[in-house]
Amino acid sequence: MINVIITGTGGMIPLPDRFLASCVIEYNGRKILIDCGEGTQVSLHKGKISISKIDVILLTHCHADHVTGLPGLLLTIGNSGRTEPLDIIGPRGSMNIINSLLVVCGYLPFEVRMSELHDTKPVEFEQIGLNITSIPLKHHMNCVGYSLELKLKPHFNPEKARQLNIPVNFWKTLHGGESVKVMDKTITPDMVLGEERTPIKISYVTDTRPVDWINKIVRNSDLFICEGMYGDDEQKEKTSEKMHMIFSEAAEIARDSNVKELWLTHFSPAMPNPGEYIKFAKVIFPNTHIGIDLMHKEFKPAE
Amino acid sequence: MINVIITGTGGMIPLPDRFLASCVIEYNGRKILIDCGEGTQVSLHKGKISISKIDVILLTHCHADHVTGLPGLLLTIGNSGRTEPLDIIGPRGSMNIINSLLVVCGYLPFEVRMSELHDTKPVEFEQIGLNITSIPLKHHMNCVGYSLELKLKPHFNPEKARQLNIPVNFWKTLHGGESVKVMDKTITPDMVLGEERTPIKISYVTDTRPVDWINKIVRNSDLFICEGMYGDDEQKEKTSEKMHMIFSEAAEIARDSNVKELWLTHFSPAMPNPGEYIKFAKVIFPNTHIGIDLMHKEFKPAE
């Protein structure tokens, strides 16, 4: 029901086989793109990912490697015939920077709606039917991560409905969460619905040092996509100075926040083979995977 | 002596196997880059072209597909350790646009020197030992092409020098263009130099309709790289409205200005196989070639 595609796994510099870190989340025919560095539209093209259904672009921050693909992508979306508004959401300060970048765009045939998130508090909002929570991060500039949840309605229990003699034409309303009256008796949804269902949850975190918010907000994610700028534990100090994380730090967050699966991304161009260092993460969190451009996975409800 | 590499041959949208139109001119270990769209640095990387020796970036104009790679490239050049100044030269209005784009760059460890060219008159200037002439073009915004010439000194004629009894230690001075006195007799360079030599000349023209300046300035080029947005003669009207050229128009300029070789570039993303249409150019100018990313050629003096 939710399709996740990482359209790039690089940090700082786009490389021929590793575009800059970005990610597409598809739900119900609509798309959210997280970050848009130089070349993201090339990767989208490579992956045959239709750009006309990108409704929202979430920005983690406005460093060049996360945003300079925006003017080109918006122009290409414009050329594809889109006329519906497109939302760009990022941390405080994004609007000025993005508007400055978009100087080369001129006229776009759709409305670009920009909004900024709070610096120090998570913000909850809804887009394309997903509940999104921003994750305040710690980088060289305002930066946020995102957790995206698909809340699943409890199943309707026809057995219970029949026992209560509720006519079938009321079932949909009850399943939708509204009460109905049957023979002067009020039937509330909880009387005919099954148990709460676990939402599908995807979390995305670059560029940051480990901070408490991450563990709190990404808790129980089905997929946690997290930066690992360097792999080797010996590079911890250097990575920390650059306000990034090494593989083992990402793995610690994955373990401590009980996520199901970790994909590492945002690799330094100085690390051509991130796979060499996966052991540093797997020893802490076994279900770790090295992100590869256009790696994707579909997430369906548990039952 | 001059190495030309086209680092991209696409117009509008960067594609996985066709980056946006740009070109590198190498001379004497230094480089000029013409245009820098989204992904140009990826193509430079693919072609193993060292970026630290790029001294000059010539911009044809400031449409997104020609400039949005600049912030990323400048940051990567900065990371490569460059501290020498870098010149960016473009048509009037470029500075504001480029400075707006560079908002994401922050500190660069080298000086960026920007200068703007005249709208309606060719400007002559010198960079990395090449004589460059701007070509005012006709597009939807201020736009220029460039002709780059390597002037070649006439050969020194040792026979003549010996006949005139000129000591060998004066030969270098005379070859350098200065007169010397030998036994109270003034010897001028023309007395010991061979004939004028034809310069090596490379010309680059996108995005434009055909205009007189082009023919005048690119005359006798060894290589004329010219846009051909569409190939089919039937698309002439549409191409003209978009202020571009079709293959046959580029070929007409090549023929009328007596260039030696024509490379077509800046192909529409709607034209996946430009080779299908080369006949429309070859019938007018036989030595036409379809540009392919990273196509390159070395140009040496005629003799």
Contacts of residue B37 in chain A, CB cutoff 8 Å?
72
For B268, counting Cβ atoms within 10 Å of its Cβ (0-12 exposed, 13-18 middle, 19+ buried), the class is buried
Cα separation, B288 vs B279, whole angstroms: 9
Helix A70-79 with A94-101: angle, nearest 10 deg: 60
Give φ, ψ of A212 to 5 degrees.
Answer: -55, -40
Using a CB-CB distance cutoff of 8 angstroms, which residues of chain A are in contact with residue B97? Answer: 103-104
The string of pLDDT tens digits covering residues B137-163 is: 999 999 999 999 999 989 999 999 999
Measure B15 CA to nearest chain A CA, in Å: 6
Residues A90-106: tens digit of each pLDDT = 999 999 999 999 999 98
Nearest to A42 among B16, B75, B79 (CB): B16
Instruction: Place A303 in a pLDDT band, splitting at 50, 70 and 90.
Output: low
The answer to whether domain A2-152+201-299 has CATH 3.60.15.10 is yes
For the entire predicted model, the pTM comes to 0.93
Candidates B44, B42, B24; CA nearest to B32 is: B24
Cα A234 from Cα A141, distance rounded (Å): 25
> What phi and psi, each to the nearest 5 degrees, are found at residue A202?
-120, 130
What is the C-alpha separation between A288 and A254, in angstroms, rounded? Answer: 9
pLDDT tens for B157-201 read 999 999 998 999 999 999 988 999 888 889 999 999 988 899 999
Q: Do A104 and B63 touch (CB under 8 A)?
A: yes
Residue type, A122: P
Work out the minimum CA distance from A107 to partner chain B, whole angstroms.
12
Record: contact B75-A64, CB cut-off 8 A: yes
Neighboring chain A residues of B67 at a CB cutoff of 8 Å = 104
Tell me what ipTM this predicted complex has.
0.91
CATH classification (class only), B2-149+199-299: alpha beta
pLDDT of residue B196: 87
The mean pLDDT value of chain B amounts to 95
Question: What confidence score (pLDDT) does residue B184 get?
Answer: 87
How far is residue B209's CA from residue B207's CA, in Å, rounded to a whole number?
A: 7
| Domain boundaries of chain A, sorted by first residue | 2-152+201-299, 158-191
